[in-house]
Every structure is written in structure tokens, then in C-alpha cells.
Amino acid sequence: MPFKEHIDKTLKLDPTPTPIFKMILSALSMIVPLLVGYIFNHQFVSMIAALMGLLLYLNDHFGVLSARLKHLLATYLFMGLGFSVGAFCAGNNYLIVSILFISSFMIGKSKDYGVELEKVMLFVTLQFLTASSDVIFLQELRELVVYCNLAFINYIFWAIVIYQISKHQVSPSSSKRAAIKKIMTHNKGLKFPLVCAVFACTGFLAAQSLKFSHPYWIVGTYLIVILPDSYQSIYKSSQRLIGTIIGVVISSVILTFVQDARVLLGFVVIFSFLLPHGISKNYWVGNVYIAALILIFLELGVPNSTTVHHLGFWRIVDIAIGSAIGVFAAIWIRPELIKDLISPFRKKTKSL
């Protein structure tokens, strides 16, 4: 396939319109916890709650309402468990790596068995990695539980209200219990799950030894972009990096000139509202809004942290490293990929 076609596949936009109810729900899921935190001066924990709102939206399959609510409850409970375990593991790298190996192996096993199960396992692992990164999460665990419960109740409330008002069309949803049963009974080989686990743990240990402040950004990116289809893994790695760079540039410009929390909350409304539209267009467009939101969340949670600690720059570096690990793993799984990618250039050189 010509290299230009690979670029087109990476950047192509989907013309399908985004339902307005998804955009409204996305905005409400993130802004309400932040507003409560702003009013009661609990900025740090409300930032985590806003992230929980984002994860709940990303995990919502918008199926039949009863099945959807059960799915969201199960997802929330598992993410809460992952976060709690991570908080108690903070500082114990041996335990963190052991749990990471098991969870990333299971993520690898789930990649072929439905996106819903894969998302749940992925975000549970991301919650675990986030909470294990700093002992402050254990110290603030009680307030974090309160605000995350608020984020969950808020999401469920608006999901039901918006559904009753809009009566929007539902999407088909799959049984996660059936998917887990397939994983346990059908053996598709161990190569891909082992690659997921080994590269995740290696990336985490390397980031720790090199004193990266957010090694979970690197590992999380890798676990998101690695796919059984090596071409798709490379596409997704490129899309995530492109979207992150654009989103970080946009948010960094905003944070350079805006320090007022009220104005930043306004930008959260705008970006969270546009997020579903971006995701529906292309993964890289969705990542523009996700990257911008995360930096603004961090600034709201810990004022001046993004500029003093150059978090925008380090976010790009960490995502770039995680994406590069994803590309390397894809080539490791399918070495002939390099030959396939460079063959069009060889043909062009010979013709000249």
C-alpha cells in the first residue's frame, strides 16, 4: 500500500454527525464535579472526579438504558477497586509491576473480544497506575471516594434525564460475562498478551529508573494504542501523538494567558462539549480535546503546576514515548511490517 494511503487512513474524518445528547452529557459529566470542588475549595479531589466523569463517558455504550446502567455501575466499581488498590500499592514497585503484568496480560487477551470489555479492563489498569504513582492519593482517599461517588451519581442522573428527554436511539451492547467466558475457554495464543505485559512492565520500569514524573502516562498510552492488528496499532499511535501535540499547544496557550479558575471552567465546558464530536470524527481529533482537558484539569487541581513543571512539554514527551513503544511492539509482533512499509519507496527509487 502506498505511504500516502497510510496517512489518509490515519487522518481521515468521519462525516457522520454527532448526536447532541452525547455532547451535553459529556460536558455535564465533567463540569459538575469541578464546580462543586471550586465552591467548596476541594480543587484537587474534584479534578480526579472530573477525570472519573470523563472515563464514565468513554465507557458508556449508550445501549438499552437498564443494561447501560448496569454496565456503568460495574465499570465504576471496578475502576474504584483499581484506584483503591493502586493507592495502597504506592511506593511498592515490585507489587505495582506484578499487578501491572497480570492486568496488561488480560488487556492483551481481551483485545479481540469486544471493545466494551477491553475498555473496562484498560481503564481499571489506568486507574491503578494513576493512584499508585503518588502517596497523596492514599492520604486523600476518603475525600476522593466522596467526590468520585458524586461524579458517578452525577453521570447516572444526567444520563437518565437526557435519555428520558431525547429518547435517543440505542446502540447494541455485548455481554461482558460472555466475553470473559470466551477469553477463558478460547485460546488464541499467548504471543500478543505476553507482548502487552512485557512491554508495559519494561516501559514502566524504564520510566521509573529514568525518573520520569508520570510513567503511567507512558504505560497508559502504550496499552491504549497496542492492538492485535499491527497496522491499526501504528495508525492509533500516530493519531494519539498528533492529537496530543495539538491539544497541548492549544491548552498551553490558554494557560499562559488565563489564570482565573472561572474562565478555565468555561473552557472545560467547551472542550468537554466538543469531545464526543471529535471522537466521532477520528481518534486523533478526540485526543485534541482529551489532551487539552487533562492539562486544564491539572491546572485547576494544582494551580500553576502546568507552567511551573512544564507539564505540557512532558505530556507530549510521555505520549510520544508510549506511542513509540506501541509502534515497536507492533513491529515485534509482525517484523515483516517494515518491509511492507518501505516497499513503495523502494519501487519509486528503482523507477527513478
Q: What digits encode the pLDDT tens for the residues 305-343? A: 887 778 999 999 999 999 999 999 999 998 887 766 666
Given a cut of 60, whether residue 348 has pLDDT beyond it is: no
Looking at beta carbons, which pairs linking 232-236 to residues 24 or more positions away fall under 8 Å? 233/326, 233/327, 233/329, 233/330, 234/6, 234/326, 234/327, 234/330, 234/337, 235/6, 235/9, 235/10, 236/283, 236/326
The residue behind cell 511492539 is: 329
What are the tens digits of pLDDT across the range 186-234? 667 789 999 999 999 999 999 999 999 899 999 999 999 999 998 899 9
**pLDDT score, position 307:** 78
CA distances to 72, 188, 226, 289 from 76, in Å: 6, 29, 24, 23
* 57-61, 147-151, 178-182: the lowest-pLDDT one: 178-182
Q: Give the rounded percent of residues in the chain with a pLDDT score beyond 70.
A: 90
pLDDT band for position 140 (cuts 50, 70, 90): very high
Distance CA 242, CA 250 (A): 13
C-alpha R_g of the chain:
20
pLDDT band for position 112 (cuts 50, 70, 90): confident
Given a cut of 70, whether residue 71 has pLDDT beyond it is: yes
**pLDDT score, position 63:** 87
Q: How many CB atoms lie within 10 A of CB 126?
A: 24
In 3D space, the residue among 170, 226, 160 whose CA is nearest the CA of residue 193 turns out to be 226
How far, in whole angstroms, is CA 140 from its chain's centroid? 23
**pLDDT score, position 167:** 81
DSSP 62-130: --SHHHHHHHHHHHHHHHHHHHHHHHHHTT-HHHHHHHHHHHHHHHHHHTTS-HHHHHHHHHHHHHHHH
**pLDDT score, position 336:** 80
Distance CA 71, CA 78 (A): 11
Distance CA 104, CA 114 (A): 16
Q: Look up residue 34 and give its three cell numbers.
A: 469541578
In 3D space, the residue among 215, 236, 52 whose CA is nearest the CA of residue 149 turns out to be 52
Given a cut of 90, whether residue 130 has pLDDT beyond it is: yes
Mean residue pLDDT of the chain comes to 91
Given a cut of 60, whether residue 165 has pLDDT beyond it is: yes
What number is the average pLDDT over the span 36-46? 96
Name which residue leads in pLDDT, 42 or 344: 42
